[in-house]
A and B are shown apart, each in its own frame.
Chain A
Amino acid sequence: MVNRNYNRPVLIKGARIVDPGRGVDGVGDVLTREGRIVSAGATLTPLDVPDGAHTIPANGLVVAPGFIDLHCHLREPGYEYKETISTGTRAAARGGFTSLCCMPNTDPAIDNEAMVELVKRRAEADGVVRVFPIGAVTKGRRGRELAEMEELAAAGVVAFSDDGDPVADPNLMRLALTYTLDLAMPISNHCQEHSLCPGGVMAEGWTATRLGLPGIPAAAEESMVARDLALAEMTGGFLHLAHLSTAGSVDLVRQAKRRGISVTCEVCPQHLFLTDEWALGYQGDPGRTAGPLNYDTSTKVYPPLRGSSDVEALIEGLAEGVIDCIATDHAPHEVASKEVTYEEASFGISVLETALGSLLSLVHGGRISMGTLVDRLTVGPARVLGPSFEQYATLEAGSPADLVLFDPNLEWTVDTSQFASRGRNTPMEGVNLKGRVVATMVEGRLVHQDFGI
């Protein structure tokens, strides 16, 4: 992380401070110094502000703890043509994320201490936000035998996952949940029963039927969610369910939490904003469904975009707290892997730089409050990751100065040519969004700033 002690104090003046961890939502000032929060809340007088402070006038802007992404793909090492730690962390900074948990489906996979060290070292050298590697559940992510999870934990991973693939073998999942009981670290599973969706590339439903594309039924996700919940109940292990996409999954988790099962889960911005009809092109316009823009491969993602009733259920689950947090599943790809037929295209969307803009539509539409949105991007993921992450999810005095400043009302049009990410693969290209990150600070240092600040 390029974050040498940045000593110049910064004063963010007159912003709406949204800090759900402390129950704060009101206008005030934030002062940072030597990488820490000095004060966040009270309006400061000139006497309170050290000489030489950089003042950011922030009327009408929101300041919040920096967002924590539990789930992204930085692609390094192995797939540097898709993304690097350098470009991925810069994309994160532009999106308001100050901490990234990166998935181990690199090449080679992050399944041993040396790989953890490599990613951490590169993040230190090239990154602009905090990077926390996630370790593989199984050796080489092959789903056969457990990786050396104790060693991975000692090396500094924050969770385990074979993401990209599920832990398909039920007994292996049981053993993983059991083996990690003393590590207090979640196992994040990508739930998809492959035998229920041979060759599947999009949600089963009318759009898939119309396009003649092999479908992925909701039951492919839900059957494994149900399996994992039963295993978590039996073992007492710490289960985290990655990127839920169906109404049925939300119901299953709701019931499980009522029964006291130790489970957390996440949802992605794309599953809250887009439906399977976007595969027809034309930005999901119901009046324009036929023509050469059909088969928009940028909509191909795991789990697939689903119908509007699923989107509604996910929003409800998020508002209610059944869904603990929002994670991006940022999955950048090179252009060539999407300029093929839908069946041949890679799964994944480049999300980091559009996440906040699309999520704010839920706030503008009155579906969730600003406080809830910020909670699910900060306090929620920190709770999944454990007590050591609380400091990154609050603006409390003394905490590391990781924060985001955004204009919730700024209207802009997504232009992927401006992305910091190497991945330009998103169906959001050309979409008008309302709300954009203005500045991002990691440990007191501005790692992104825009619009004349």
Chain B
Amino acid sequence: MTTPDAMALGGEAGEVTLAAPTGSRRNVLDLDDFTADEITSVLDDTGAMVEVLGRDIKKVPTLRGRVVVTMFYESSTRTRISFEEAGKVLSADVINMSSSGSSVDKGESLLNTGLTLQAMGVDVVVVRYPHSGAPYLLARHLPQVSVINAGDGLHAHPTQALLDLYTMRERLGTLLGAKVVIVGDVLHSRVARSNLWGLTKMGANVVLSGPTTLMPLDLLSGRDELEEDHPFAQVDVDTDLDRAIEGADVVMALRLQSERQQGGFLPSLREYIRRWQVTDARMARAKSGALVMHPGPMNEGVEISTALAHGESSVIEEQVTNGVAVRMALLYRLCAGRGSRMAQAG
């Protein structure tokens, strides 16, 4: 991609047109610095990428000559492979770095590893790290690299939120006014945090439900001091899941990590399952045709019943498919922007 103009993805099935990238976005750190218009534009591009993924030969030359490195300091299946596939379908060269077997084993810091990659001329770094804010550290110190946050600590997972938004918009037609119930361990969920930004910016009504020990205390104790457009000022909390789920368009179950019980947040999994497992019976209170979502990986039988996870209302596999397309749209956007930025710099 060398031109920032609106571009076409050639292919045997005809052409798909993408919006002209603005060229101003260098990094994807979280959705807090996206406007609703930019999110809409990413979701529109995602639609074009879904079409590419549906082709017989899933390959377009868009990012030929671009180098994408995935740096995963935490285990991951779907996110890492999804980024790798996204890059490869767009013809970028994708290199996977895992922390074991790399210089990280010799004690190299995240920052020095990033500087090394920058010196090698890498265009995009996709990073997952167990501590919140790691992608920001790289973005501050690597001016020639675009950074994509693939999950940082408890903080954010913006590409997951975008694929969730896309999946909802495809099924519901619009996010405006949609009632989205997010259930479970909000306190430790980077997926929930990024979805809060995205959903509130797109005009959805968000209700959080789950045990009070797994909610940020601020959300329970009042939000008077927040600005009106702050996402936390706009969400509702209802710990009674049966009531929260009334009339919902979407119910998203969050992964419940088994450490939470050991950490004393929960008396038992049994009690969690009784009160907060998303089940067919509970979904009966939602709107008919309401969607069931989960960011994965699932603990079937804990936060979500097995029947529901694989049932008709579940769009969990669709989320995974859309994840590849969203990441293609973002890689395209950042790389196209790089072209124009470098032209300006040159």
**A positions within 8 Å CB-CB of B:** 204-206, 209-214, 217, 286, 289-295, 336, 339-344
Contact = CB atoms under 8 A, between A and B. Distances in A.
A213 B225 CA distance: 20
B342 interface: no
Given A339-B111, A341-B132, A343-B132, A212 B33 contact: no
B108 to A, nearest CB: 12
Interface stretch (B81-89, B216-224, B237-245, B299-307): B216-224
B153 interface: yes
Nearest to A341: B131
Given A206-B232, A209-B219, A343-B153, A289 B32 contact: yes
A344 B217 CA distance: 24
A87 B227 CA distance: 44
A342 B132 contact: yes
Contacts of B13: none
A342 B133 contact: yes
Contact of A341 (B129, B217, B227): B129
Nearest to A294: B136
B155 A212 contact: yes
Given A340-B110, A341-B110, A341-B137, A211 B132 contact: yes
By size class, the interface of chain B is 20 to 34
Given A205-B218, A209-B218, A209-B219, A341 B141 contact: no
Top 8 A-B residue pairs of the complex, sorted by shortest distance between their CB atoms: A212-B155, A295-B133, A212-B154, A341-B131, A290-B33, A292-B139, A212-B132, A290-B32
Greatest chain A CB density within 10 A among B133, B134, B217 is at B133
A206 B226 contact: yes
A259 B141 CA distance: 54
Contact of A213 (B32, B33, B154): B154
Nearest to B233: A206
Contacts of B218: 204-206, 209
Greatest chain A CB density within 10 A among B137, B152, B217 is at B137
Given A206-B232, A292-B29, A211 B219 contact: no
B32 A292 contact: no
Contacts of B123: none
A340 B153 CA distance: 14
Contacts of A204: 217-218
B136 A213 contact: no
Nearest to B189: A212
Given A205-B218, A212-B153, 10 more contacts: A204-B217, A209-B216, A209-B232, A210-B32, A212-B133, A212-B193, A292-B29, A293-B136, A339-B141, A343-B131
Nearest to A214: B154
Contacts of A289: 32
B139 A340 contact: no
Nearest to B30: A290
A344 B136 CA distance: 14
20 contacts: A206-B218, A206-B230, A209-B218, A209-B219, A210-B232, A211-B133, A212-B153, A212-B154, A213-B155, A217-B217, A291-B29, A293-B140, A295-B132, A295-B133, A339-B137, A340-B110, A340-B111, A340-B137, A341-B137, A341-B153
Nearest to A207: B218
Nearest to B142: A292
Contacts of A205: 218
A286 B230 CA distance: 11
A214 B133 CA distance: 12
